[in-house]
Amino acid sequence: MSFDIDVTLRRGERSIACRFTAPAGVTALVGPSGAGKSSVLEAVAGLLKPVSGRIVVGGAMLYDSAAGTNLAPEHRACGMVFQDLRLFPHRRVRDNLLYGYRLAPPERRFMGLEEAAAFLDIAPLLDRRPRTLSGGEAQRVAIGRALLSGPRFLLMDEPLTALDDARREAIIAVIERIRAELALPILLVSHDRGDVARLADQVVELRP
């Protein structure tokens, strides 16, 4: 499944142009702060409408300004892992995970709660609340919620930020397993060149 992105975005008074084609695997968006990396992810997810252009993932047209196509986020079949994670603080881990599962059409589900918990090594966390989790534990729960939504591809915004070395290594291992065992294409934002060198099959550099 490939990414074919050619869009112009606007954030306030600033215009962001991004054009790339990437094969299956992990594609990293890199560049300085303000280059528009997170904005591109939001556009692919359907959370930010481009000014113009097209977004095609795996041959499916998600956005095309010329044709008037703009699929709603829930119809794009993507799993989004936000930089701030956005776990529901009033829900236990189990219910955060099941939120993603209940959103998924039955035909798109490829794993259940117990399988996701085992895959991410979070079974002992299921009855805890997000505020009691470490940064690495919370990141794995956020990834689990995305996987349980039955995505065709994943969007990950700075998934390794603010983690210590041990937790960073654990999340890198999770991303590598997703690529190898689940074969889900991943579009990933990162500012760390070392992480990008380890994870990315293709690198796209954005400039402000």
* d(C-alpha 186, C-alpha 22), whole Å: 10
Extract the tokens encoding 19: 């054009």
% of the chain exceeding 70 in pLDDT: 100
Query: Taking a C-beta distance cutoff of 8 angstroms, is the pair 8, 17 a contact?
Result: yes
pLDDT at 12: 81
Report which of 53, 190, 6, 44 is spatially closest to residue 203, judged by C-alpha positions: 190
Average pLDDT, the chain: 92
Phi-psi region of 4 (alpha: psi -120 to 50; beta: other; left: phi over 0): beta
The stretch 121-146 carries a mean pLDDT of 94
**Which domains does the chain show, CATH number per domain?**
3-205 (3.40.50.300)
pLDDT tens per residue across span 57-93: 989 999 999 999 999 998 999 999 998 889 999 999 9
Residue 133 and residue 57 in contact, taking contact as beta carbons nearer than 8 Å: no
**So what's the pLDDT on residue 1?**
66
Q: What is the pTM of this model?
A: 0.92
Q: How confident is the model at residue 174 (pLDDT cuts 50, 70, 90)?
A: very high
Question: Which pLDDT belongs to residue 38?
Answer: 93
How far apart CA 92 and CA 30 sit, in angstroms, is 34
